[in-house]
Amino acid sequence: MTSPTFRDQDETRARRRYMIMNVARLGGVALLMFGIAITQGVVDLPFALGVVIGVIGFADFFVLPLVLARVWKSQNSAAEDTPKP
């Protein structure tokens, strides 16, 4: 059995990060839909709570993947700056 190459490791890391970003987006959609359900009276919780949850879900859907990508990109560039043995 051969050891994984750097390319295989990079591909595995990229797939994992892609899945994390998609799960974050799905979580954002779920929060947004839950917030809408609250504001429409489907779920018996205060209207203001529904608005807050909806805004958090909206931000989660649009902002969190961008933040994750920026953090991962800075980690990659920091890893490239370190000398390899």
pLDDT digits (tens, 9 = 90+) for 32-42: 999 999 999 99
Q: Say if residue 77's pLDDT is above 90.
A: no
Whether pLDDT at 2 is above 70:
no
* 10: its two tokens: 């990079």
The CB-based long-range contact list for 12-16 (8 Å cut-off, 24+ gap) reads none
Tokens of 53: 């949850």
Quote the pLDDT of residue 9.
85
Instruction: Measure the CA angle with vertex 39, ends 37 and 43; round to 5°.
Output: 45
Residue ranges per structural domain of the chain: 18-77
pTM of the predicted protein model: 0.77
Dihedral, 68, 73, 75, 77 alpha carbons, nearest 10: -170
